[in-house]
Each structure stands twice: as C-alpha cells, then as structure tokens.
Amino acid sequence: PPPLIRLEKASVGYEPGKPILKNLNLRMDLDDRIGLLGVNGAGKSTFAKLIAKALTVDAGEFHRDGKMRVGWFHQHQIEAMDPEDTPLQIILRAMPEASESSRRSRLAQFGLPFQKQDTKVGALSGGERARLLLNLVAMDAPHILILDEPTNHLDIDSRRALLDALNQYTGAVILITHDRSLMELVADRLWLAADGTVKPFEGDMDDYAKFVLDRAKQAGMKPSQLKPEPVAEAAPVAAPKAEKKKSGPSPSTLRHAVKKAEEEMARLTADLARIDTDLAAAAAANDSKKLESLGRARAKTQADLDAAETAWIAAEEALAEVA
C-alpha cells in the first residue's frame, strides 16, 4: 500500500525563508511505530506540527492522503483546558448527536466514573485530565497518532493502560517522550531531530544516550550538567574492595537521579508552556518591555531544560551499566 506520508527534500518553519527543519526525506506507513528523539529545541514539536497539518512545507514536497486523519496529543492541551469546563460538557462537543447515556458511558470507558463527569476540570487531577484528552484524541481512530510526552501526568496504572492501548492500536504512531521504557516498548524505529533536520537513527536508546552526551561534551558543557552527581575517584590498585565501593553511584542513587531529572523536566516544560502563553499575550498587546523580559526568561528556562535532559540521559545510561 502507498505510504501515509512521504517527505521529499521538504523544509518547514514559522517564517518564510527561515526553516527550522530542512532536507526532510522520510516515509511513514500505516504499521510504523516511530520514536522521535532529539534534545529540546531540536525541532521535534515543529515536526509534529507539520505532520498534524498545523504547519505547511516552505519547500520540497509533502505527499499525504487527503482523507488521512491525525490525532495529536501534547502537553499544551492540558494547560489550555478551561478550568470551568466539565468532562460531560467536553464530550458533548465531541459527540453532539449521541444521547447523554452514551456520552456518560464513553467517559466511563475513559476512566472517569459518574461522580467525576460533572466535576470541573480545575478540580480534576493532572492524570485525569491527561486520560480525558488522550481518549478524545484517539476517539476518531486517526491513521497517525502523535503523542508528545503522554505519560507526564499519568500514574503507573494509567501508563500500563496506555501501553496496552498502543499495542492494540492499528494505526501509525509518532512518540515523543523522555520515558525511556515506554519508548523501548512502543517504538520499532527511531528518528532523530538534530542539526536542523529529521533523519532515521541507526541505533538503540543506549546509542542515543551516547550521542547526546558526546554532543554535550563537544559543546563544552560543565561536568555537573553531564552527570547526576560527581563520581568518586577510584581507590589505589592495592585496595580493590575500596575501589569497587567508590567506582560510582549505587543503583538506588541513580534511580533517584533519574526520577529527580524527570520531575525537573516536567516542571520546566510546564514553565515553558506558561511563558509561551505570556509571550503570545504580550505580542498581541505590543508590549515590547514584557516581550524582552519574557524572552530572557524563556532562554534561561530552555537552557535549564536542556541541562535537565542531559542529566536524565546520563543517569539512565549509568543505571543501565550497573543494573
């Protein structure tokens, strides 16, 4: 069968003549499970917007079936939800012709019991909001499902349910996540956003971790940004037992470092979303002073997020070596 999408020498950006990604030569079929890798700021979200039809190519060709449906879940949707809305009101807009009992039954299938269906969104947990949005995105059986950090607000049971649903899903998936275990369990191919383009990545998650660390070292990042914590110097050769104890962090320490880095990335990602919302408002109001201040804040937050991502990858790599 023909591919769902085919990109040939394509470029895409937000302003004419200023591409964020260029020379895209990619093909995606109905049974593909693509893991999209890349540090923050490398263009992963731009690529997702292109596939979701939120952006158009500036140059080259983008072939896709006109009837192709794309479902797109990203964290900004959670931030943008109206806190005064209720799940029942939201599902009413998605299923206007259905009966109330059918809509309530569908919400129950989403994991929202009757007592939660009339609760305002502002009173729902982050996991409940994420489950609601994930199910709404997938409700129309899209041919391609784009999931951008889908597990940030989900508990363990919800993550397992998401994994089961993805394994049963018959369409194509583009997955963007810091959750390494989810990436390894879902993706059968890896694409890498780097150097202003997206290309197939020949390697696994260990190879990607090494790639990011090598890039960070080449960029002259500080050692504290590359490792979750300083590694003790090796003991003298005459004392092998002491050397073993001081050879590096313990598995429990590394697991703690992984969790801490994941929490930091989630916090900084939310901060970036809020700053972007404030930037849009300042631009609409033509407030140059606020735009300048928010621009500096965004640059710092992005740098902190890049450092947190590097620390997470370093901790994951170190944990895999000692596990």
- Alpha carbons 169 and 173: distance in angstroms, whole number: 9
CB of 107 closer than 8 Å to CB of 88:
yes
Residue 301 has pLDDT above 90, yes or no: no
Mean pLDDT of 24-52: 92
Q: What pLDDT score was predicted for residue 229?
A: 35
- Tell me the two tokens of residue 102: 């059918």
Q: What pLDDT score was predicted for residue 321?
A: 67
Q: What pLDDT score was predicted for residue 51?
A: 93
Q: What is the pTM of this model?
A: 0.66
Mind listing the pLDDT tens digit for each residue in 3-17? 899 999 999 988 888
Of 45-59, 61-75, 178-192, 214-228, the range with the lowest mean pLDDT is 214-228
- Tell me the two tokens of residue 97: 């012709």
Mind listing the pLDDT tens digit for each residue in 113-144? 888 888 898 888 877 888 888 888 888 888 99
Q: What pLDDT score was predicted for residue 129?
A: 84
Superfamily of domain 5-208: P-loop containing nucleotide triphosphate hydrolases (3.40.50.300)
- Alpha carbons 74 and 36: distance in angstroms, whole number: 14
Phi/psi of residue 173, nearest 5 degrees: -130, 135
How much of the chain exceeds pLDDT 70, in percent? 87
For the chain, report the end-to-end CA distance as a whole number of angstroms. Answer: 43
Where does residue 197 rank: exposed (0-12), middle (13-18), buried (19+ CB within 10 A)?
Answer: buried
Instruction: Please give the DSSP secondary-structure letter assigned to residue 303.
Output: H
Q: With CA atoms as reference, report the closest residue to 39 among 266, 215, 167, 187.
A: 215
Percent helix, strand, coil in the chain, to 5, is 50, 20, 30
How much of the chain exceeds pLDDT 90, in percent? 22
CB of 26 closer than 8 Å to CB of 182:
no
